[in-house]
Every structure is written in structure tokens, then in C-alpha cells.
Amino acid sequence: MAEPDAILAAIESHFSAPLAGLRALVTSGPTIEAIDPVRYITNRSSGKQGHAIAAAFARRGAGVTLVSGPVALADPAGVEVVRVESAEQMLAACRAALPVDVAVCTAAVADWRVKEASPEKIKKEAQSTRRNRPLTLELVQNPDILAALSAPGRERPRLVVGFAAETIDVLDNARAKLGQKGCDWIVANDVSAEGGVIGGEMNQVHLIRRNGAEPRVEDWPRMTKAAVAERLAERIAEAVSAAPP
């Protein structure tokens, strides 16, 4: 029979650190894909949502690895941060962080990279003798990190959560991504220009969870990215306590 003090300590840590003992991986920020040593392709992601999720997990006692592309944000307290630039580096860093219990992919991974980045700065003159002739870059698809982490296998996290950045047909597109990527939950967010989500403080999301044939959708009100992170961490704590490791 456990001592009353031990029981009290266990209850206290359950409420103050409901994710204690859990290993979590979070991807955040954009990736950048080199064209040459001075130029690159990237996107407008700020990393705010991913960093807030990593911080919310750490505050609940999880051991967190945050794999982030270049962002102008401070490292969240109590989180191991791995900085990367390209999608291929991000995938390698994620694989190195395995095994984990939970993975949340919020990074805006560049979908394409230049097939062969030039080792030297591309000169306008070398392209053509004619002024204003368009430069053609050959792009190839980057690896899909969320799909790679979701693939069945010994190291698949127990819970894999993706984000779906959509500008139209938000719920339908997000439901389709849940199927295509093979993750367990997907957070659908409307990133159309009017919402100011990209780079902003606020977010408006729907949490879509696999539930047999028909995914279960929870509509969350418009709230700060920090509040989205808190609520997602709560949902994950509930899911983990319902099915402990």
C-alpha cells in the first residue's frame, strides 16, 4: 500500500505535469532551400504556433525536441532546440529525435527545392546575352516529413498530429490530408490573407481526429496561437491518460 504522501505527490504531479515522462517532437517554422550561396526559396511562416506548442508541452512536463527552421523567436524554456535550414535537414533531425511518443508537425516545409543548387552565385550575364531573359529553375519535390513520421513501423510515434494550412475548403482539404499523410489528428487552419494567421498572433482552427470511418471534428473559436497550443496540449494529455504508454 502506497504512503499517503506518495499518493498526494502522484496526484499533484498528474495535475501540474500531466505529460511527465512523455517524449514529444515538434517541427516549427519555415524551411529554406538554397538556389545558390546567397539566394533561397522560403515562405512566410513565423514559427509562432510550433514554438508555442513546444513550450506548452514542456510546461506540462514532457521532454521536448523542437526541430525548427530559421525563425526570429527565442528558444522556448526547457526545450531542446535543433536548428535546421532545408527540408532534408529537418527530416534527418526528426529521424534522429526518434523514438518519441507524440509528434506534432507545424513546420511550413517548402514543398519544392532547386534540383541542383549552384555552388557559385548565379550571374545574370552568364545566363544570356539578351537582357531580361527569364531564368528557369528546375524544382523537385521535398520529402514529406509528416507522412514519413506517420508511416507504419517500429519507431512510429503513438500519436502523430499534422497541421493543414488551407485558404479554401478548409475542412474538406484537411480531412483529405489526414488520409493522405496517415497521421492520427490534423489541426485545420484557415490561412487566407483576411485572417492574418501567417505571421500573426491569432489562429482559427478545427481539430480533426480519426474516429473509424468518419473523422471527429471540433471547431475551436478564434484564439491566440498560445491558447491553441494550450488546448492542443490538454487534448494530448487527455488522450495519453486515456491510453497510457
> Which residues carry out catalysis?
43
Rg (CA), the chain: 20
- If we measure between CA atoms, which residue out of 201, 199, 192, 93 comes closest to residue 149? 93
Position among 33, 144, 190, 230 found at the interface with ligand CTP (CB under 6 A): 144
Rounded to a whole number of angstroms, the minimum distance from the CB of residue 156 to ligand CTP is 15
Q: How far is the CB of 74 from ligand CTP (least distance, A)?
A: 21
* HEC secondary structure over 146-204: HHHHHCCCCCCCCEEEEEEEECCCHHHHHHHHHHHHCCCEEEEEECCHHHCCCCCCEEC
Return d(Cα 66, Cα 33) in angstroms, integer. Answer: 20
Choose the stretch contacting ligand CTP; rule: CB under 6 A; options: 65-73, 117-125, 140-148, 226-234. 140-148
How far apart (Å, rounded) are the C-alpha atoms in residues 94 and 91? 5
Min CB(136)–ligand CTP separation in Å:
22
67 lies in the binding site for ligand CTP (CB under 6 A): no
Shortest spacing between CB 135 and ligand CTP, in angstroms: 24
Looking at 82, 88, 111, 171, which residue binds ligand CTP (CB under 6 A)?
Answer: 111
Contacts with ligand CTP in 184-213 (CB under 6 A)? none
Q: Which of 62, 160, 165, 178 binds ligand CTP (CB under 6 A)?
A: 165
Answer whether the bond into residue 18 is a cis peptide, omega within 30°: no
Give buried/exposed letters for 118-137 (b at 16+ CB in 10 A, else e): eeeeeeeeeeeeeeeeeeeb
Is 142 among the residues that bind ligand CTP (CB under 6 A)? yes
Question: What phi, psi does 178 have (nearest 5°)?
Answer: -55, -45
Residue 105 binds ligand CTP, judged by CB under 6 A = yes
- Number of residues this chain uses to bind ligand CTP (CB under 6 A): 18
Interaction site with ligand CTP (CB under 6 A):
27, 87, 105-109, 111, 142, 144-146, 162-165, 177, 181
